[in-house]
Structure 1
């Protein structure tokens, strides 16, 4: 006779409430950000993330596709498609990695840097209005302090690019 595993205990009302509030806030914020990015730069959110990582976070303006996919939490195939659109628009270039010929490196172009500069002021304003205006400086720090360990816990798992690909 086989014993079935014990089902997990349900979330309590506080946990469930926190989950729903977080998801609603994330959804509303993402909608406002996506609208601003479309209006100001004809960019999707993922395209903005790629350009921002390359143009604002990377000292060289370049990253391997695998690292970009892990950083923006996006599928490799989806990222390849988005990078292709950005390359076609002249905002990034792609080339074989100098370190590993199997890898592809994406580099932001001057046009990509210019577009980031164009959309960034509106992006900051949306964040200020939608996310930060109802919070005090202390509340903002508390929010960051609460979410950082959750993010770190989630990021402790192997990166998505290290996982096996599902076969169809």
Structure 2
């Protein structure tokens, strides 16, 4: 048996570093645009966008945390900031009183409408402008199975909570 640790070949390593760099550069530009156009963090924008896309305008907090891949406590804090700004309301879930439902308000929809054109411009200009339509379709086809593979393990927010010793 060999004691050689697993490694990535040069092509895999290059692809990994390229993906990380592209993601970091895009996220930085998107965050800057969201702050300037709507005084929103990236996570707050994700929350408003998911709520805005929902037919009811509502989601349970746990589902939102899983969707945006964010901790429950972090999401609670961000939702609190959005609620304080009048962009969402939080209420006990009608299905389960232990759960909280978050609903976008008219002001939240208006803020989303304010930031969306600039958001589309940044994403289109940085991510899609240097690619052909065929390249974008290839990229989507490559990323979808990777995302699905990563999502096949439940996110931390959906995993059973560990009990402390002695419980």
Structure 1 residue 35 displacement after superposition: 0.3
State the distance in 2 between where 1:8 and 1:88 align: 50
Q: Any idea what the Cα deviations from partners look like across 1:58-84, whole Å, max 9, x if unmatched?
A: 110000000000000000000000000
- Structure 2 residue aligned with 1:75: 71
| Contact preservation (8 Å) 2:66, 2:158 | no
Q: Please, what TM-score do these two structures have when normalized by structure 1?
A: 0.93
State the distance in 1 between where 2:77 and 2:35 align: 18
- Structure 1 residue aligned with 2:133: 137
State the distance in 2 between where 1:139 and 1:160 align: 33
Unaligned runs of 5+ in 1: none
Q: Where has structure 1 moved over 6 Å in runs of 4 or more?
A: none
Aligned: 1:60 with 2:35: no
Query: How many aligned residue pairs are there?
Result: 163
State the distance in 1 between where 2:123 and 2:158 align: 32
Q: Any idea what the Cα deviations from partners look like across 1:27-70, whole Å, max 9, x if unmatched?
A: 00000000000000000000000000001x21100000000000
SS in 1 for 2:98: coil
Q: Please, what TM-score do these two structures have when normalized by structure 2?
A: 0.93
